[in-house]
Amino acid sequence: MQRITRGRGRREGGLIDGPESVTAIATSELCDRIIDGRLAMGAHVTEHALAAEIGVGRQSLREALRALESRRAIVHVPRAGSRVVQLTLQDAFQVTTVREQLEALAVQQGVPANGERFERLRTAMDAMERHARSGDETRAPHDGLQFHTALVNLAGNDHLNAAYAAIALPVAILMRLNRQAQAGAESLLDRAARHRRVVDLVAEGHPDAVLAELRAHHTAAYLLGDHLSAHDASDDALAWAGRLGRLEQGSSPDGSAP
């Protein structure tokens, strides 16, 4: 029986074949699994089993793994194979501070917004609300990344988009950790409503108000747990974690998450 995968090739005889690169399909599938946690931080990648599960050849899977090494999502260990990156506190500090600067620059350059780029943001918002109504927690990190990527795309700056894409997977992992930490305090519907306020402010054309709303979002509840090792963390990273940790501890019961 043939399974058709729209726009991504087709499965024939157990392997995917079709117009899109099989390596691209494998890369996309690996990204999805890393983002939603099916491939957890630090997990060893068993090439034979994973290639069969996805429906690609082992060579295509290896090429996908190499592609994700450059995106800081996969680490190759000599004589031990590949594993998913294990983010540390230092990583979180560096990724988050870069993310904040890129998003701020994008808002400053891209708001007021209209046309196709704004429609992408609205489409991402609609998806987040749809999954919130259905209670689909597995989509939360995907929706968060899609929304913030669309927000950065408002600027229409290819170099800015490329810089954000380079940190997208670590950003999504942190979004997932944060959502897990905040799930009991903020419903998916409340989370979607918070992001809807950002869209409304973008539509009104007020970049300073958009930035203020983004700064009000609590994005570091994961710091209150033991998800990230502080081994070899810099003084700046430790100070950053201490400051945000205090903010999270002082947040209201319905505090928000990315």
Beta pairing partners, 45: 82
Give 144's contacts (C-beta < 8 A, 6+ positions apart). 128, 172, 175, 179, 258
Summarised one tens digit per residue, pLDDT across range 124-161 is 999 999 999 999 999 999 999 999 999 999 999 999 99
Give 137's contacts (C-beta < 8 A, 6+ positions apart). 179, 183, 188
pTM of the model as a whole: 0.87
Summarised one tens digit per residue, pLDDT across range 5-48 is 434 444 444 444 443 589 999 999 999 999 999 999 999 999 99
**Reported confidence tier of residue 225, pLDDT bands at 50, 70, 90:** confident
**Reported confidence tier of residue 251, pLDDT bands at 50, 70, 90:** low
Task: Supply the pLDDT for residue 224.
Answer: 87
Question: Position of tokens 């988050």?
Answer: 96
Give 25's contacts (C-beta < 8 A, 6+ positions apart). 5, 8, 9, 16, 54, 56, 60
Inform me whether the pLDDT recorded for 252 exceeds 50.
no
Task: Supply the pLDDT for residue 247.
Answer: 78
